[in-house]
Amino acid sequence: MRRRSLLATLVAFGAGGWTFRPGAAAAAEPAVAADRIVFGQAAALGGPASALGTGMRQGLLAAFAEANKAGGVKGRKLELVSKDDGYEPGRSAAMTRELIEKDRVFALLGPVGTPTSAAAQPVAAETEVPFIGPFTGAEFLRDAMLDNVVNLRASYFQETEVMVERLTKDLGVSKIAVFYQNDSFGNAGLSGVKLALGKRNLRLAAEGTYERNTVAVGDGLAAIAKEKPEAVVLVGTYKPCAEFIKQAKHARMNATFVVISFVGSDALATELGENGPGVVVTQVVPFPRDASIPVVKRYQEALKAAEPGATPGFVSLEGYLVGRLAAAALGRLDGVPTREAFLSAILSGAPIDIDGFGLNYGAGKNQGSDKVFLTTIGPNGAFRAVDRLQKS
**What is the tens place of the pLDDT at every residue in 330-373?**
999 999 999 999 999 999 879 999 999 999 999 899 999 999 99
Q: Are residues 267 and 297 in the same domain?
A: no
**What is the tens place of the pLDDT at every residue in 263-297?**
999 999 999 999 999 999 999 999 999 999 999 99
In this structure, is residue 267 part of a structural domain? yes
Q: Are residues 18 and 97 in the same domain?
A: yes
**Cα–Cα distance for residue pair 60/303, rounded to 1 Å:** 10
In this structure, is residue 368 part of a structural domain? no
Q: Are residues 104 and 165 in the same domain?
A: no
In this structure, is residue 74 part of a structural domain? yes
Of residues 124, 130, 113, 120, the one with CA closest to residue 94: 120
In this structure, is residue 207 part of a structural domain? yes
**Cα–Cα distance for residue pair 147/103, rounded to 1 Å:** 23
In this structure, is residue 115 part of a structural domain? yes
Note the pLDDT of residue 10: 33
Q: Are residues 185 and 216 in the same domain?
A: yes
Q: Are residues 148 and 166 in the same domain?
A: no
Q: Are residues 267 and 328 in the same domain?
A: no
Q: CB of 80 within 8 A of CB of 64? A: yes
In this structure, is residue 391 part of a structural domain? no
The SS3 of residue 322 is helix
In this structure, is residue 196 part of a structural domain? yes
Based on the structure, what is the number of domains in the chain?
2
Question: Residue 102: which residues within 8 A CB-CB, separation 6 or more?
Answer: none
Q: Exposed/middle/buried for 364, CB within 10 Å: 0-12, 13-18, 19+?
A: exposed
Q: How many CA atoms lie within 13 A of 184 on its CB side?
A: 16
The dihedrals phi and psi of 388, each to the nearest 5 degrees, come to -150, 165
Q: Are residues 120 and 232 in the same domain?
A: no
Q: Are residues 95 and 176 in the same domain?
A: no
Q: Are residues 69 and 87 in the same domain?
A: yes
The SS3 of residue 137 is coil
Q: CB of 321 within 8 A of CB of 285? A: yes
In this structure, is residue 324 part of a structural domain? yes
Q: Are residues 346 and 276 in the same domain?
A: no
The SS3 of residue 2 is coil
- Domain that residue 326 falls in: 3-154+290-359
Note the pLDDT of residue 28: 62
**Cα–Cα distance for residue pair 166/89, rounded to 1 Å:** 33
**Cα–Cα distance for residue pair 366/360, rounded to 1 Å:** 9
Q: Are residues 176 and 325 in the same domain?
A: no
Q: Are residues 161 and 253 in the same domain?
A: yes
Low-confidence ranges of the chain (pLDDT < 50): 1-26
CATH number for the domain harbouring residue 305: 3.40.50.2300
